[in-house]
Structure 1
């Protein structure tokens, strides 16, 4: 019975890793659609987010069923509860990728990003993909040291975010309010996405050590 229980725990973890990789790919494709005004790719990202939502629900149902059937010890309970929270976090990350794709659709057939900010947004997209891919690796490996490195890498996204807002605040901004709002939203989506990747890493630290990586003991992010 316990062997079957642990196999089910492993299957939930594998599903979470796959879901995280799916969300990383979604953000990469969303970035491409935004910069290149690629309507087909943007539509695929928006439609694919439904699959992420279904996957999260399936994982949640399996975890709840596992809790109902078994009486997990403290470590096992921590694994299941952490997996539930991670699933919710990955789903929110998928929503952010969808938002980027939706912005691409809204401004199609032109790009929502002005030429002088395209390189910065491309860097933000590439970093977002890298961080979420690393989050998937960390979930799979449960390596707290790699998790800590991922959390530190989140600072790079914060620097890019600040660079975008510095440009928006310059007196010679020539693109109008609508474009400024588009760019501000885009930067915010990437920043929140990176925060979720870092939070996933923090949850791995808690999963392995039983200790929260922050003094306040909370890793919960607002959507």
Structure 2
């Protein structure tokens, strides 16, 4: 019975990792589509989000089944509950990648933004992709230093997000109403993507250390303070 439980726990982790890998591909493609007005990439992201949703449903079923049948305690219980919460967070990251792809598809054959805003959103896209790839490595290794790196990179996203409002205020007269709306939405999507990456990092901190306080307030030097889940 214990061997079966161990195998099911391993499967839970593998499926979660697969989900995170698909999200990393999705945000990379979505932000590339946004930068280059690539309709094919945008549609690939939108279509692929269904698979991410299916993986979340599978993970939920696995986790609930483990709780009901095995009644895990202590560390095992922490792993199962963390897996359920992580799957929901990673799925939301996939949704945000899809939102970016929707904007890219909706403005085809043009790019959603131009000029300084286009450059800034390109930089935010690169940072979001970096966070997604770090999340994948974190789930593979449970290296808390990677969690700290995710927090630092999310701070970069937060700063860029604030800069996006400055650009709208400074250059808004040169932007169409649609470009302003797109810029505000895209900045928010990418900023939230980073926040969810931080949520993953803090959940892994809790999983590894068992210290909920440390996970909730794990702020690296130069950080901005606790993030929203």
The answer on whether the counterparts of 2:195 and 2:228 sit within 8 Å (CA) in structure 1 is no
The answer on whether the counterparts of 1:202 and 1:219 sit within 8 Å (CA) in structure 2 is no
Q: How does 1:67-216 map to 2 (within 5 A)?
A: 67-170=67-170, 173-212=173-212, 213-214=215-216
The answer on whether the counterparts of 1:151 and 1:202 sit within 8 Å (CA) in structure 2 is no
Give the distance between the partners of 2:188 and 2:126, measured in 1 at CA: 15
Give the distance between the partners of 1:118 and 1:23, measured in 2 at CA: 23
What do you get for the CA RMSD once the two structures are aligned? 1.7
Q: Deviation string for 1:31-51 (max 9, x for gaps)?
A: 111121111111111011011
Tell me: CA distance 1:140–1:172, structure 2 relative to 1, closer, same or farther (3 Å).
Answer: closer
Residue 27 of structure 1 aligns with which residue? 27
Q: Deviation string for 1:54-82 (max 9, x for gaps)?
A: 01101111111111211212110110001
The answer on whether the counterparts of 1:20 and 1:90 sit within 8 Å (CA) in structure 2 is yes
The answer on whether the counterparts of 2:15 and 2:59 sit within 8 Å (CA) in structure 1 is yes
Give the distance between the partners of 2:64 and 2:228, measured in 1 at CA: 20
Give the distance between the partners of 2:33 and 2:112, measured in 1 at CA: 10
Give the deviation of 1:129 after TM superposition: 0.9
Give the distance between the partners of 1:209 and 1:194, measured in 2 at CA: 23
Q: TM-score of the superposition, structure 2-length normalised?
A: 0.91
Unmatched 5+ stretches in structure 2: 218-225
Bigger drift between 97-106 and 162-171 goes to: 162-171
